[in-house]
Structure 1
Amino acid sequence: MSEVSEKLKDAQRRIAALAKASPELFGGFARVSKVAAASGSFTSTQKELMAVAIAVSKGCEDCILYHVDAALKHGAKEAELVEALEVAVEMSGGPAVMYGAKALEIMRALQ
């Protein structure tokens, strides 16, 4: 298992621990997440790429791991991720460059 896959598994374990510790809170969050990720005017892939761009802008590596993985599961391509990262960099500058590079590295490691 790659280092990136291990980091993703670690993040998923932490989320599961919080869900177990606070099932009511997590149940609400899970419902919000399900609605937010569902296809509508935007596809689920596009929504996951938006989430990656926001995670990059916010500097949340675990969020990047989670949403890159979800984007891949919905069929996202590297070129699409790069376009989303371009928007994140436009909106967040230098820090987004650093986290955007992590997002690209994560996608390549998870493919």
Structure 2
Amino acid sequence: MTANYKSELSSAKERLGALGKAAPDMMQGFGRLAKAAIADGTFSVAQKELIATAIAVVKGCHDCILYHVDAAKRNGATEDQLAEVLAVAVEMGGGPALMYSGKALEAYRAM
């Protein structure tokens, strides 16, 4: 059974919105950090989102995987690029990263 990744991503964003209302200063600070970190520079936004995806895979954060796969794809990352970065994540994260890499690829294809 294929997960509904778009729905799961929407739910994750709703949870973040609720947290933003409960702790606005913290979320605004995190938002500024995230915006600065992902801004176009030596690496493109798509490349940075792929890096974030690899980290999310190694850390095993399902919602982070959805968020960053979506952002990478929206910013022009290809499936081949994702596959390459997932290979690095598996190298660094072993078996658990292998399992989450499958989820990341499935999410990319579903979005």
The residue that corresponds to 1:29 in the other structure is: 30
Q: Which runs of 5+ in 1 are unaligned?
A: none
Deviation at 1:24, TM superposition (A): 0.2
The residue that corresponds to 1:55 in the other structure is: 56
The amino acid of 2:65's aligned partner reads: I
The residue that corresponds to 1:3 in the other structure is: 4
Matches within 5 A, 1:1-111: 3-110=4-111
Deviation at 1:70, TM superposition (A): 0.4
- Report the TM-score, using the length of structure 1 for normalisation: 0.96
Q: Which 4+ stretches in 1 moved above 2 angstroms?
A: none
Q: How many residues align?
A: 109
The two structures, once aligned, show a CA RMSD in angstroms of 0.8
- Report the TM-score, using the length of structure 2 for normalisation: 0.96
Deviation at 1:39, TM superposition (A): 0.8
Deviation per CA, 1:1-35: give whole Å up to 9, x if none.
Answer: x7111101000000111011110000000000000
Supply the distance in 2 between the matched residues of 1:16 and 1:87 (Cα, whole angstroms). 32
Q: Which runs of 5+ in 2 are unaligned?
A: none
SS at match of 1:41: coil
The amino acid of 2:77's aligned partner reads: A
